[in-house]
Amino acid sequence: LKHQQKIFINPQLNEQFHKFGFVKVFLIDSIKTEDLQTFYNQNPHNSNFEFHSTHFSKDRVYKRKIQKKIIDTFQPALKNVLSNYEVIFGNFMVKQKGENSKMPLHADWTYVDENRYLSLGIWCPLVDTNEKNGMLGVIPYSHNFNQLFRGPKIPSVFNEYNQYIIEKYGVLIPMKAGEAIIYNHKLLHFSPENTTEQERVAVNIVATPENADIFHYANIDEKIHVYNASKSNFFVEYDHFEKPECNDFKVLEVINNESINLKIIEKTLEKRDKTFKEKLIELFSF
Ligand SMILES: O=C(O)CCC(=O)C(=O)O
């Protein structure tokens, strides 16, 4: 049933999304990307990491300001694309030049009960992205793996296969500033290093179904805590990798993320058509 859920207003996008686990759309024009870039330059995130996100900041006033700017900019555009989804969290993702700027393969955190609902990541670069400056790479069909508990310090079952999966199944999607990849949070994705002098700033947004409760799963002292994150600003109001200041949680004794082996990986990702990568790139080149 979940596979027929109406996520996008446009039926063709809806079909592509359920098939591949992501779609690419035009989202905001150059006036807005330039305005956001200027806003970011005036409110830069100071970090020694080559890849960093405003989400890592411990300055809550700063995080609230970023959140507001991103939501105000994207909310109207997303209303025209998504059906009954709301934006709950927004950040800048910044990639400086350097080997450590690469983002390893991962799927994003879990935000909703994925047995019933599906949450979305929206990744929108403020500059054109290509092989040199840290474009986004995706693993088509990887949203079909059943890894329902994802969050800070919860180990990924894919770790030992990361390189293999990227090499065999990874597709790098060229994007212009203001285009966005909208993906199922279960989708595995990654981004290579930025080899250019220009800092690459992108926006990442979390959107959830309007009627879904929001949860946050985190490994706290080797136990999985499930927080009720439905109150507004849960994600802005706590520090990355720290224990959330929220007493509304349950402790799970076991994480029943399905175990993974090569056979399951190939069965889920392998497509008979060996040219599927080229076809996908063509499909999303517009
Ligand atoms: O900004 C990037 O290069 C990677 C973004 C990413 O992986 C994410 O937002 O989860």
Given the CA of residue 91, which atom of ligand 1 is nearest to it? 9
Q: Ligand 1 within 6 A of 204 CB?
A: yes
How far is 169 from 137, CA to CA, in rounded Å? Answer: 10
Q: Ligand 1 within 6 A of 89 CB?
A: no
**What pLDDT, on a 0 to 100 scale, did the predictor assign at position 283?**
84
Chain centroid offset of residue 71 CA: 16
Pick from 222, 212, 218: nearest CA to 244: 218
- Model confidence at 4: pLDDT above 80: no
Q: Range with the lowest mean pLDDT among 9-23, 73-87, 110-124, 264-278?
A: 264-278
Q: Classify 214 in phi/psi space as left (phi over 0), alpha (psi -120 to 50) or beta.
A: beta
Structure tokens at 241: 């990798």
- Which residue out of 111, 189, 195 has the highest number of ligand 1 atoms within 8 Å of its CB and is therefore the one to mutate? 189
**What pLDDT, on a 0 to 100 scale, did the predictor assign at position 278?**
82
Q: Ligand 1 within 6 A of 191 CB?
A: yes
Given the CA of residue 204, which atom of ligand 1 is nearest to it? 9
- pLDDT digits 0-9 by tens, 225-257: 999 999 878 999 888 878 888 889 999 877 778
Residue 253 CA to ligand 1 center (angstroms) comes to 30
Given the CA of residue 190, which atom of ligand 1 is nearest to it? 7
Asked if 182 and 78 touch (Cβ cutoff 8 Å), the reply is no
Q: Ligand 1 within 6 A of 114 CB?
A: no
Asked if 213 and 228 touch (Cβ cutoff 8 Å), the reply is yes
pLDDT tier, 127 (very low <50, low <70, confident <90, very high otherwise): very high
pLDDT tier, 3 (very low <50, low <70, confident <90, very high otherwise): low
Q: Ligand 1 within 6 A of 63 CB?
A: no
Kindly report the protein residue whose alpha carbon is nearest to atom 9 of ligand 1: 204
Q: What burial class does residue 171 get, using C-beta atoms within 10 Å of its C-beta: 0-12 exposed, 13-18 middle, 19+ buried?
A: buried
- pLDDT digits 0-9 by tens, 21-78: 999 999 999 999 999 999 999 999 999 999 999 999 999 999 999 999 999 999 999 9
Question: pTM of this prediction?
Answer: 0.95
Given the CA of residue 53, which atom of ligand 1 is nearest to it? 1
- pLDDT digits 0-9 by tens, 210-228: 999 999 999 998 889 999 9
